[in-house]
Amino acid sequence: MEINIKKHLLQFKKPSGTSRGVLYDKPSWILSVQLPNGKVAQGECSVIPGLSPDFIDEIQYESFLSKLQRQFSHWDQGEFKDVALFQDDKWKQFLAEWSAFPSILFGMETLAKEIQHEGSAILFDSAFTRKEVAIPINGLIWMGDEAFMLAQMEEKLAAGFSTIKMKVGAIDWKKEKALLKQLRTRFTADELTLRVDANGAFAPKEAPSKLAELAELDIHSIEQPIMAGQLPEMKTLCATTPIGIALDEELIGIHGKTEKEQLLDFVQPQYIVLKPSLHGGLTGTKEWIELAESLGIAWWMTSALESSIGLNAIAQFTSTFQNDLPQGLGTGGLYTNNFESSLVVENGYLSMNK
C-alpha cells in the first residue's frame, strides 16, 4: 500500500492569539491513499509547534512520516477492512510503537477509518452521522486586545451560542475579568455558560485568588490554570477550587495506561479536555475517557486546530460517546485555505451537512 504525504500550511483568516504567542499559520500533513473504487482516503497529522510532543521541527517530523510511509508499504488495504479495526496484534503493535507520536497516530487512524469505509466521509455510525442529532459546542473567544475580544463575544452571542469559552492570560487581568463580568451582567449562568482557558498562565500562588474571582462571576470551569508539571499544586487547587478545573496540557506526553490512571487518581480534577492529535490519537483518547469516567471525572473533546479532514473525524468519534457537555469543536472556519467540510454550525450546535 502506498501512502502519499503532503504538507498543507493552513492560513488563519485573522491572527489568533494564545498564551504561547500569536498564530498566523499552522502546518498539517495530509496522508492519502488511492482506493480501488477511484476514491481517495485521507488522514491528517496536525501539529501545533511548541505544544505537540512529537514535533521538534519539520525535518525531524517528516523523517518520521517517511518511516511511517515505509512501514505501511508492506501492508495491504485488505488489512484495514476488519470491523474490529485496531484490535488485532499487528495494529496493537503499531499503536504501541508510535504511542509517543499522537499526531501521527491520529493521522494514521483516521486514514485507516477512511480506507475501511472505502473513502466515505462517514467513519463512525452514530445518531450524529445519521443526521438525527447535533453536538452542542462552545464559541471560542481568542486572545487579543479588549476591543477584539469584545467583538468576538458579540459575534458568538449573535450566532446563538449558549456556551462561550474565553482564553485568558494575554491582556491585563482586570480587563479580562471586566469582559467576563460584562457577559455575566447580561446573561445569568442559566442563560449562558462561561468557560475560561488559562493555558497555564497563572502562578500557583496567585491561582486561588483568581479562581475565587471567577467564582463570583459563576464561571463554569477553567482549563489548565497553572503550568503543567506542578502536580502537587494542581492537586491542591482541584481539591479546594470553587469552580471546575479541567486538565489539558497536563495530559500531553503521558502515553501508558498506568501513568494516565496514576495522574488522574492523584490530581482528581473535575474535568479533562481531550485533543486526539495531542493525547494519543483516537485509541489513546478513548483510554483517557474510560479511565476518567471510572474515576467520576467528566470530559469534553476539543480540536487542536485541525483542518476539516481531522475535525470531521474528531466530531464523529466524539458522537460515539454519551456526553451532553458542549464540546470544543467546529468546522475549521478559522482558515482561508481549508478543505471542504461535511460539518456545519448553527445556533451553537455542530451537525453533519444535510
Q: What H or E segment, with its residue span, contains residue 338?
A: none
Active site residue 167: yes
Integer Cα distance of 278 and 271 in angstroms: 17
Cell numbers linked to 84: 474490529
* CB-based burial label for 246 (10 Å; 0-12, 13-18, 19+): buried
Tell me which residue has cell 478559522.
Answer: 334
Task: Provide the phi-psi class of 353: left if phi over 0, else alpha when psi is between -120 and 50, else beta.
Answer: beta
Catalytic residue among 167, 205, 210, 260: 167
Integer Cα distance of 326 and 134 in angstroms: 11
Q: Do the beta carbons of residue 344 and residue 333 sit within 8 Å?
A: no
Alpha-carbon separation of residue 297 from 48, 182, 300 (angstroms): 27, 31, 10
Integer Cα distance of 110 and 124 in angstroms: 11
Beta bridge partner(s), residue 319: none
Catalytic residue among 113, 165, 210, 275: 275
Which residues are known to be catalytic? 167, 275
